[in-house]
Amino acid sequence: MMNVGIIGAGHIAEKAARTLAEMEGMSCLAIGSRSQKKAQDFAARFGITRAYGSYAELLQDPDIDLVYIATPHSCHFENARDAILAGKPCLVEKSFMMNAVEAAAILALAREKNVFIAEAIWPRYMPVRDMARQVIASGVIGKPVMLTATLAYNVSEKERVLQPSLGGGALLDLGVYLLNFVRMYCDSPIRDLTTSCIRAATGVDASEVITFIHEDGTLSTVQSSAFSEGNNEGVITGTTGFLVFDDLINPTCLRICRKRHIVEREIPVPKQITGFEYQFQASADAISAGQLEPVQMPHAETLYIMHLMDRLRTEWGVPTSSAV
């Protein structure tokens, strides 16, 4: 049994707790919150036996095998550093850190201390990733030429998303999935990048469009917004057809289309709990095998994405650190 401790009793921690409650071989043993009462309420709701009123207490629990960090982006560095120094393997919610400098420092510390660390960017760990790769390799859509995707959720009322000091903005919250979508299905290096962003009154990026031309001639255009609701589909367009992810983050199926919207084949994804189970399972497997990173999301890839997000925010004039 691998015992998970969750840090931060917020929105996504609830989904993680629900997922872990249904997994075999893993359980949520403890919740850590800045408030003892909040930790106790959370523990009672999800049948968690240990409730800590500080993150430090959770990190001292010798029975915790994996720490899941579910705090705002601006807290990830400190939380991950403390977990590593306590010798605890950790799975850190996306976006991994505030910027590439923080990410590089944490990855170096984890390596030095021989501690597993991974980014919880869940589509990387899902079976649909291999399913899509197999469809592409089969040649049914021909040679991939374009990747397009939109990810828009109206999360503009959330302080965590609005405030630069908490690592807000559409890119760290939503755009990170789009960059991972591009990287998962097009491994050709980026030759040209063009981008524009609309800023919120608080200074964070509210909506953005990003276009890459890859060295092999593939074109990727993605857009995200934290101020609107989108269709949130991803499409890989090839010379003879296109492949649709009905939901970019958590697809229910892949649709293979040849002409306009005529669906030639629909491939459902395997039955799942919430879709979060794959990242927890991958972490457990890697830790059991003595690995310091998961094969599904290697450290180099996490760092690459962080560098790319720094570059985009620098172009937009949006802060890349919480020191604002």
Ligand X SMILES: NC(=O)c1ccc[n+]([C@@H]2O[C@H](COP(=O)([O-])OP(=O)(O)OC[C@H]3O[C@@H](n4cnc5c(N)ncnc54)[C@H](OP(=O)(O)O)[C@@H]3O)[C@@H](O)[C@H]2O)c1
Query: 219-225 and 263-268 as β-strands: parallel, antiparallel, unpaired?
Result: unpaired
CA distance 154 to 152: 7
Q: Which residue in the set 124, 160, 299, 313 belongs to the binding site for ligand X (CB under 6 A)?
A: 160
Alpha-helical segments (H) within the chain: 11-22, 36-46, 55-60, 73-85, 100-113, 127-138, 159-162, 170, 176-185, 277-288, 299-316
Q: Which residue in the set 173, 205, 208, 293 belongs to the binding site for ligand X (CB under 6 A)?
A: 173
Q: Which of residues 7-66 bind ligand X (CB under 6 A)?
A: 8-13, 33-35, 38
Q: Which residue in the set 73, 88, 124, 313 belongs to the binding site for ligand X (CB under 6 A)?
A: 73
Q: Which of 123, 144 has the CB closer to ligand X?
A: 123
Contact call for residue 313 and ligand X (CB under 6 A):
no
Q: Which of residues 210-229 bind ligand X (CB under 6 A)?
A: none
Q: Which of 12, 213 has the CB closer to ligand X?
A: 12
Q: Which of 160, 313 has the CB closer to ligand X?
A: 160
Q: Which of 50, 94 has the CB closer to ligand X?
A: 94
What minimum distance in Å lies between the beta carbon of 279 and ligand X? 9
Q: Which residues contact 197 (CB under 8 A, 6 or more apart)?
A: 205, 206, 207, 208, 209, 312, 316, 318
Angle between helices 11-22 and 36-46 (to 10 degrees): 40
Identify which range of 6-14, 57-65, 210-218, 309-317 contacts ligand X by CB under 6 A: 6-14
What minimum distance in Å lies between the beta carbon of 171 and ligand X? 11
CA distance 301 to 180: 9
Residue of 84, 85, 93 lying closest to 7 (CA atoms):
93
Q: Which of residues 273-302 bind ligand X (CB under 6 A)?
A: none
Residues touching ligand X: how many (CB under 6 A)?
21
Q: Which of 35, 288 has the CB closer to ligand X?
A: 35
Q: Which residue in the set 4, 59, 66, 75 belongs to the binding site for ligand X (CB under 6 A)?
A: 75
Q: Which of 161, 186 has the CB closer to ligand X?
A: 161
176, with CB counted inside 10 A (0-12, 13-18, 19+), is buried
CA distance 24 to 227: 38
The C-alpha angle with vertex 103 and arms to 101 and 105, in degrees rounded to 5, equals 70
What minimum distance in Å lies between the beta carbon of 311 and ligand X? 20
What minimum distance in Å lies between the beta carbon of 105 and ligand X? 18
Question: In this chain, which residue has its C-beta nearest to ligand X?
Answer: 10
Query: 190-199 and 205-214 as β-strands: parallel, antiparallel, unpaired?
Result: antiparallel
CA distance 10 to 190: 36
Residue of 48, 38, 41 lying closest to 4 (CA atoms):
48
What minimum distance in Å lies between the beta carbon of 123 and ligand X? 9
Compute the residue count for the chain.
324
Residues in touch with ligand X (CB under 6 A): 8-13, 33-35, 38, 70-73, 75, 93-94, 122, 160, 166, 173
